[in-house]
Structure 1
Amino acid sequence: MAVRSWVNAFAVIILSVGQASAESSSGSLASSVKRLTDKFMATGAEGTPPGIPAISVAIGRDGKLLYADGFGQASENRPATAGTIYMVGSITKQFAAAAILRLIEKGATLRHGSTLLKTTTPVSSLLDIANDWTLEGGPPITVAHLLSMTSNLPNFTRRPPHELDPWGAVPAKQLLGGMKEYRPSGYPGSFEYSNTSYFLLSEIMENVEVGGSSRDYHRILREELFTPLGLSDTGFGGDSWEANRLANPHYRRRPRFSQPDWLKGSGDVASSVIDIFKWNKALMEGQALSPQMRDLMLSDCARVDVWTYYGMGWFISHKDGTDRFFHSGTVSGYTSYNLIVRPSPAHWVSVSLLANSDGVEGVDSLADELAELALKS
């Protein structure tokens, strides 16, 4: 685990030695970021105070870290830094999708069976509860339908199985069993955001093996992604974090789905903005996934609206020759946003925002403003 002082020194070195310029025509990038972030924390979206105790920011361009810092208080008498840990909510889905794609490339098969894990594999071949899951009047639900949010399965965080308490803990297998009563509904193969899909993907990971060996979901993410990519500040909400690393949550409403094992692959990862930048860099540079699998992950798998698509763990838009890949996240006590803007195949900027308050509005607009600064700097 990298210590906070090392992270701060790392950010200062990058800013000071000029690996990437922090200057823009309107002044330094650092001062512009501070101005925009201070304004956001003071006024929030549409002039409404957001009540954010802390927010951390990381901005990169073409694989170079331009800026990383924290604002506000991670806890009483503890300022937020670039190394502060937050729950990242649905940014977890990016890691879950990448892990599934890596297992596919490694030739994973159903435990004690010969069924290959592919994007086209029916979920019914991998999970016993899915025997009756077919798109209305059509083919069975596949792994690709889960990855692209086109399974038409109900979202369990909106409609949890009736016998389970959203304010308590739940064993994953009990939650999985409760989903047995779910049935797909809606226009077949249409996009509908559902945490159910990514919870099921984490269960599928635990039901396959590579080279005769199976692993639990947390171990898979650590061994396939976190450790090889150097994401030393990334783990899970239930981990024993180094003292004073995890930001204290700030609740706008009674916390729900905050106990194990509710979220799993849909939202249980914790990280820092430094590590989210490292993740973006590894993905864009072909280190997290092969270029083929990365392009699949960032492809227009499902239309969300006129301008927006969903890939696999990312929302995607294309406008004026610029690609945007993004995802927000909110879980009890925390809000996150991760954005990559690619104006050309050879150039990209990323903005990662993590805050210790749930339901914060306007983080997408703040990220857009910060990305524009990075593009101009």
Structure 2
Amino acid sequence: MQFRLLTTAFWFLVIAGYPAQAQSVAPGSAEERDALSSFDEYLAAFRNEQGIPAVSVAILRDGKVIWEEAYGWSDDEGETPSSLDTTFSIASVTKPIVATALIAEAEREGLDFDISMSADAGWAGTCEWLSRSEILFGSGGAEADGTLIPAMNCERDVTLRDMLSMRANGDGSTFVYNPISFARIDRVITGAGGRDLRRIVREQVMDRADIRNIALGWRDPDGGSALRLLALPFMVKDGQRVRTAISDDDFRASAGIKGSVRHLAQFDQALASGTLLSPAWQERIFKKPLENDAGDYRWGWFVQDWQGHRLAWHSGWDPDRYSAMYLKVPEERLTLIVLANTDAVWWHNSLVRAEIEQSPIAAKFLAEFLR
């Protein structure tokens, strides 16, 4: 934890001193090769210092993988080297994949984004419980820096459209990251007579992007080798790695996918090629101007402006088990994907602000590739 805080502080100070417009490293240049080498060294050191057994990473530019690496091992005996086909629980990085599938479902199968969340028979009870709980994104309160979080308003008729952009709290004018509510999306769709979420994601994303051997939860009959290649989860306690139990949660809109860094690279390539989202939807999600400096949450993505660049991203956190990062710089057609089998990649990100530069890994990446 001490290393994580020091590293975050260091890269925040480095980036704070940069000019207002960061310049992208030219594709294929000596600078890019140096950036890749430096980032490789940084990740290897980060893994060792944080005690992470397995880390997989890929960097894409212009829809092509320009660098990929797997560090460490994926079993509890240290005998199975991690590979680029090693799978991880990607946790909340599931959300942009699900949102992409639902956009395609709306365009091809007529899914209505104006369905009320009340189509889920358990929504009213979930909202009531959350709004009275001690969970910050449920009952509201303040983050550690004093930023106020509005409580859920169970009198509002929240729609599927609202939920896909995290507008279940307050009056819905700004986002509050609310993963428990987002997890009800599958129940809303089936409650309104729609198709099973696993089938939607399999057909609208995985089949169209030709992604195989990825598991949409434990019970996915088409999961192939994803569970066989799963890196076992660990936590670091008192400086020692401790093997932890694998979560038995199945696939929901919020989480549940077990996949590799290559699977996510395929998803990113399908996005870049226009296979999954139309230009109009890409404009709406990734390019539309922001209304405030806190950024936004749009259709499964955190979106922000940093040093003159638009960033779109998602983090993944399975406590004491796994963590993930998926970061896009759309106008540079540049992507970073990182998966790990501890929660050390997660950085306690805000519920109401998009600020991926607070992540030490993201800060290093931005410092190297958007100088």
Query: TM-score w.r.t. structure 2 length?
Result: 0.70
Q: What does residue 123 of structure 1 align with?
A: 117
Instruction: Show CA shifts across 1:132-157 (max 9, x none).
Output: 979849751111211111112xxxxx
Q: What does residue 230 of structure 2 align with?
A: 246
Distance 1:60 1:26, change over 3 A: closer
> Which piece of structure 1 moves more, 57-66 or 226-235?
226-235
Distance 1:366 1:98, change over 3 A: same
Taking the aligned partners of 1:284 and 1:368, their CA distance within structure 2 comes to 23
Instruction: Show CA shifts across 1:40-80 (max 9, x none).
Output: 1233xxxxxx2211110100111111011101111221121
Q: What does residue 308 of structure 1 align with?
A: 295
Q: What does residue 146 of structure 1 align with?
A: 163
**How far 1:90 moved relative to its partner?**
0.3
Q: What does residue 365 of structure 1 align with?
A: 360
Structure 2 residue 48 is the aligned partner of structure 1 residue 42 = yes
**How far 1:107 moved relative to its partner?**
4.2
Report if the CA contact (8 A) 1:96-1:202 is conserved.
no
Report if the CA contact (8 A) 1:148-1:301 is conserved.
no
Structure 2 residue 199 is the aligned partner of structure 1 residue 219 = yes
Q: What does residue 341 of structure 1 align with?
A: 329
1:1-377 to 2 correspondences below 5 Å: 24-25=30-31, 27-28=33-34, 30-43=36-49, 50-75=50-75, 76-108=78-110, 117-124=111-118, 126-130=119-123, 136=153, 139-152=156-169, 186=170, 188-207=172-191, 215-238=195-218, 239=223, 241=225, 245-252=229-236, 258-261=247-250, 264-298=252-286, 306-332=293-319, 333-342=321-330, 344=331, 347-361=332-346, 364-374=359-369
> What is the letter of the counterpart of residue 340 of structure 2?
A
**How far 1:299 moved relative to its partner?**
6.4
Report if the CA contact (8 A) 1:98-1:288 is conserved.
yes
Count of aligned positions: 300
Distance 1:128 1:296, change over 3 A: farther
Taking the aligned partners of 1:357 and 1:57, their CA distance within structure 2 comes to 14
> What is the letter of the counterpart of residue 66 of structure 1?
I
Instruction: Show CA shifts across 1:260-294 (max 9, x none).
Output: 34x61111011111121221222233211222233
Secondary structure of the equivalent of 1:74?
coil
Distance 1:279 1:69, change over 3 A: same
Instruction: Show CA shifts across 1:193-237 (max 9, x none).
Output: 11123211122333456xxxx642222211111111022242234
Q: Which runs of 5+ in 1 are unaligned?
A: 1-19, 44-49, 109-116, 153-185
Report if the CA contact (8 A) 1:136-1:188 is conserved.
no
> What is the letter of the counterpart of residue 367 of structure 1?
A
Taking the aligned partners of 1:207 and 1:301, their CA distance within structure 2 comes to 34
Taking the aligned partners of 2:293 and 2:252, their CA distance within structure 1 comes to 31
Secondary structure of the equivalent of 1:206?
helix
Taking the aligned partners of 1:106 and 1:26, their CA distance within structure 2 comes to 40
**How far 1:373 moved relative to its partner?**
3.8
Q: What does residue 182 of structure 1 align with?
A: none
> Which piece of structure 1 moves more, 188-197 or 93-102?
188-197
Q: What does residue 183 of structure 1 align with?
A: none
**How far 1:190 moved relative to its partner?**
3.9
Taking the aligned partners of 1:223 and 1:151, their CA distance within structure 2 comes to 28
Report if the CA contact (8 A) 1:96-1:198 is conserved.
no
> Which piece of structure 1 moves more, 268-277 or 52-61?
268-277
> Which piece of structure 1 moves more, 360-369 or 229-238?
360-369
> Which piece of structure 1 moves more, 141-150 or 353-362?
353-362
Report if the CA contact (8 A) 2:226-2:259 is conserved.
no
> What is the letter of the counterpart of residue 54 of structure 1?
A
Taking the aligned partners of 1:151 and 1:300, their CA distance within structure 2 comes to 21
> What is the letter of the counterpart of residue 122 of structure 1?
S
